[in-house]
Structure 1
């Protein structure tokens, strides 16, 4: 696999795990009475928060693994299992955007949703964080870190564009379209998760490489 193909694969994986389209219902529900400028401001704050969460996971994750003595094979296996469980929720319809039913707090500023729960845990949730830690731990040095940082930036821009165009996208896709995209994304994530689990097992049990 070429480097370009490898990083494209990572970009697709992280984008699907973040899945900004699934955050649209919550965003629209909580910002319905705000002006367009206020909505854009919240979208910007959310995208920045997602970028910070992903990059912190990228750069600090590997040191946390070293601190707790967790090997890459074990984390690859655990990360694969977590991501697979998330993919099952997506496929079976247990949508993350169910958080839109969180009751409104009259005393709360609507802009507060930008970080919690929109950026964390809805978008940059356990799956995306695990993915960044996993790929960061496999980075080949400064060059790899730069590429992964660019990927985090591109994913954050994807979040920004999705939220800014949320109203238009919801009208175009409607809830059924969003559900279909979520299920298809779940299938893709499930395949990636199974590959991660198998890769982790191969590293932990070398005999699996020679059946």
Structure 2
């Protein structure tokens, strides 16, 4: 981690950077679109599952990410390109109004197949995507002392808490927006996410084929 990561101000910058990249608000429309028919307890359980997954992904990337990419010979460009394609497909389903409605409201079953989206694709790659993962890998590779090894994971925890409360806040938001409002919000967000995905694909292609940028 370079000099900008030293001191309280530096760590605040790291938190802001990771928070903006994760962007919990981006996941709200997708969360609402895929939790219709579920009880509040089920929705809160999925919010907890997603935030826990985000925390695990960020910390794993910080400590072991660079070794995993090296082990499999995966470049940052390839990782970014793959993530962009996946996110684009997700955004396409949001715009077209497709969602997984099956097995979501089975009484007493909070672990039904309807909650599978909590980890994939909500936690990864929608929230903890190539951007946050790449940043955590870079922070992990640039650590210079034990203090940084302790603080950066705490920052990841703070971001995951923000994810949890953002998704939890979506429950009362759904009551105010109702079905039509959620549909509109989902489609608009889907268009925005598709634009982000295209940028990721573009970045990945430039990293893989620098000649395209000339």
TM-score (norm 2): 0.67
Contact 2:24–2:166 (CA under 8 A) maintained in structure 1: no
Aligned counterparts of 1:119 and 1:208: Cα–Cα separation in 2: 36
Aligned counterparts of 1:86 and 1:159: Cα–Cα separation in 2: 21
Q: How many residues align?
A: 198
State how 1:114-129 maps to structure 2 within 5 Å: 116-117=115-116, 119-121=118-120, 123-129=122-128
How far the C-alpha of 1:147 sits from its partner, in A, is: 6.2
**Unmatched tracts of structure 1, length 5 or more:** 33-37
Report Cα offsets for 1:44-85 as digits up to 9, x if no partner: 743552343432453343322111011112222222222222
Contact 1:27–1:118 (CA under 8 A) maintained in structure 2: no
Deviates more, 1:65-74 or 1:16-25: 16-25
Which residue is equivalent to 1:150?
Answer: 155
How far the C-alpha of 1:105 sits from its partner, in A, is: 5.1
**Unmatched tracts of structure 2, length 5 or more:** 5-9
TM-score (norm 1): 0.68
Contact 1:81–1:193 (CA under 8 A) maintained in structure 2: yes
Q: 1:194 aligns with which of 175, 179, 198?
A: 198
Which residue is equivalent to 1:133?
Answer: 133
Which residue is equivalent to 2:77?
Answer: 73
Instruction: Let me know the Cα RMSD of the aligned residues.
Output: 4.0
Aligned counterparts of 2:26 and 2:60: Cα–Cα separation in 1: 14
Aligned counterparts of 2:183 and 2:43: Cα–Cα separation in 1: 24
